[in-house]
Structure 1
Amino acid sequence: MSPSDSKPHLDGDGLHVRQDGPREAPVLLLIHGSASSVRSWDALVPLLAASYRVIRVDLLGHGRSPKPDDLSYAVPEQARRVGETLDRLGVRSAVVVGHSSGGATATALAERRPDLVRALVLVNSGPGLHAYIAPPMAIEPSQWPDLTDEQLREFASSAFSRAGYTIPRELLDEVREMTFHSLVSTMQGTSEYLTEKALPDRLACLGKPLLVIFGEDDRRWRPSSAAEYGIVPDARIVMLPGIGHSPMLEDPPSTAAQISSFVEDVVR
């Protein structure tokens, strides 16, 4: 597969998957955050796919994956589905990259499947609920999904900080296509997982190489909380000045450079 190819398909459980890059290259698994999808990585993938087999998956309830009301959205269950997806793709080892709450799913995958996760990259993943600083969601079930673009941009505004950045319309559309149940259940699942145990405490005992990337201007998670990952042995913590909650969208080249440098050290 050439680096420019991008193959979408549904895995055995109906999760939407995209693959880019050479099949024989080291695997990078990209896991999006809440109310997002594989599209959140669109600007980053071309910068990585020449060197890596890049796999993206829409978690249950997101993007082009199913949005059922009768299945669990708990973080460990999301991680189980992702692990089984990689099994079906024939992947035996991957560096797992998670953005925001996707970092919780990445961590849960490493807990469940240490054989599968070679290393982790957490991008603006708050260590625990004490670090959450965004205002509460001010959307009622009766409003969903009939929201204007302006209402959705206000809902998603804390995900960005760069002056003049306009949230892509396609990302707004994918938020609108979520069910209110899948949106709320996903956020509840993340809250329960972080309440049970903070991410640094979970990661400290796993023995996996860790890179933490954090925008210094994050408006969802307190940027100074990135230092809490320092309890993880040999963790690498990188702060990006002038960047908010979504470095892969706000500054793809810097984000890709940090990920590539880390992965090269891991696979060397």
Structure 2
Amino acid sequence: MTKLSLTSIAICILAIATLSAHSAEAEKPYLSVEQLRAKYADPAGRITKVGGVEVYYQDEGQGEAILMVHGSQSTLKTWDRLAPLLTKNYRVIRFDIPPQGLSGTVTDEAAARMQVTDIAEGLLKQLGVKQVTYVGVSSGGTLGVFLAAKRPDLVTRLILSNTPAATVTTDHLKPDPVFEAAQREAKEQGVQSQHFWNTFLDYFAGDPQRLNAKIREQYYDVNRRAPEKHYLQFVARVADQEKALDAMSRVTAPTLLIWGGYDALLVPASMDTLAGYLKQAQVSTIMMPDVGHYPPLEAPERFAQLVAAYIEAATPLQ
């Protein structure tokens, strides 16, 4: 697969999503945040403001707090099948990274003023959470690294799933004619169709049949939200390697890496690379060989069991 086809899992769609304003906007199947909220808001969902930015979140269950953060091009619904398995014993908090999902837009003023960790940090403060086990997938895990490095008093454990450690390269990706054709079509038409997202999820899954029609429709819908100027403002990235490596080296929280071994992008060796950069952390690793880039989506029951076991048996708080 060429670099033109997919530059990274974090921003592979962004260039298409922010095509020239001279395109015929009326022909784009965009959805407003209001339309997305009308369709996808959960009865447990709430909206608050952090630093003036609207943040859609869910806060469910009682007990030790767990913060779950999704990756790029996704939402808190990444955890829909997993969170209910943990809320009997834990307080599970999750949110849509602005301006993704059902969270609000990010203004120029907010973008100039706020840092990548501010939303997570501010939300937890509003909710009165003083300590949390942080669980993140893909770039959501990168955010956890930055937060744990900044606030070791806040993040007591770190659970990272298929999280990049270095700038993502794509030379190793295996060609897939169906996915490549869908990408060409999206580039030509200026939109990502449901077919595009089906092929995207198929490519990055260990077993595509695990990702049902509901999940696929959600990906299609949230990724046709009207283009946002500051889409990547609160997406944690490793592109600034000096900053990222510094953060990794300062993490002291016990860390569990749960890896989908069938990930086409972040292959199993990527887990070892990340573990090596977490120099001050006690790192444990678990490989899920049949799962792709999104373990919480593909294997929520198994993932929940691993999270609970790590909290309760491997790293109980003193």
For the criterion TM > 0.5, the same-fold answer is: yes
Aligned to 1:21: 61
User: Unaligned regions of 5+ residues in structure 2, if any?
Assistant: 1-41
- Inter-CA distance 186–80: structure 2 relative to 1 (3 Å threshold): closer
- Alignment match of 2:283 (pick from 235, 260, 265): 235
Contact kept? 2:116, 2:234, Cα under 8 Å: no
Residue type at the aligned position of 2:293: H
Rounded Cα–Cα distance in structure 2 between residues aligned with 1:12 and 1:187: 14
Give the C-alpha shift of residue 111 in structure 1. Answer: 2.1
Give the C-alpha shift of residue 28 in structure 1. Answer: 0.3
1:151 maps to 2:196: yes
Q: Percent identity?
A: 27
SS in 1 for 2:153: coil
Aligned to 1:267: 316
Aligned to 1:225: 270
SS in 2 for 1:190: coil
1:184-195 aligned within 5 A:
185=232, 190-193=237-240, 195=241
Rounded Cα–Cα distance in structure 2 between residues aligned with 1:90 and 1:218: 36
Contact kept? 2:159, 2:258, Cα under 8 Å: yes
Rounded Cα–Cα distance in structure 1 between residues aligned with 2:77 and 2:307: 18
- Alignment match of 1:162 (pick from 201, 207, 219): 207
Rounded Cα–Cα distance in structure 1 between residues aligned with 2:235 and 2:71: 13
Contact kept? 1:160, 1:250, Cα under 8 Å: yes
Normalising by the residue count of structure 1, what TM-score does the alignment of the two structures yield?
0.84
Structure of greater Rg = 2
CA RMSD of aligned residues (A): 2.9
- Inter-CA distance 106–188: structure 2 relative to 1 (3 Å threshold): closer
Count of residue pairs the alignment pairs up: 256
Contact kept? 2:149, 2:250, Cα under 8 Å: no
Residue type at the aligned position of 2:261: E
Aligned to 1:173: 221
Rounded Cα–Cα distance in structure 2 between residues aligned with 1:204 and 1:123: 18
1:255 maps to 2:303: yes
Aligned to 2:242: 196
Normalising by the residue count of structure 2, what TM-score does the alignment of the two structures yield?
0.71
Deviation readout 1:159-211 (Å, 9 max, x if unpaired) = 3221424452123211222626455x369862434x33445x63343211000
- Inter-CA distance 117–178: structure 2 relative to 1 (3 Å threshold): farther
Residue type at the aligned position of 1:190: R
- Alignment match of 1:7 (pick from 44, 58, 71): 44
Aligned to 1:57: 95
- Inter-CA distance 91–165: structure 2 relative to 1 (3 Å threshold): same
Rounded Cα–Cα distance in structure 2 between residues aligned with 1:178 and 1:20: 29
Give the C-alpha shift of residue 93 in structure 1. Answer: 0.4
Aligned to 1:122: 160
Give the C-alpha shift of residue 150 in structure 1. Answer: 0.4
Deviation readout 1:46-76 (Å, 9 max, x if unpaired) = 11111100000111111110133524399x8
- Inter-CA distance 29–178: structure 2 relative to 1 (3 Å threshold): farther
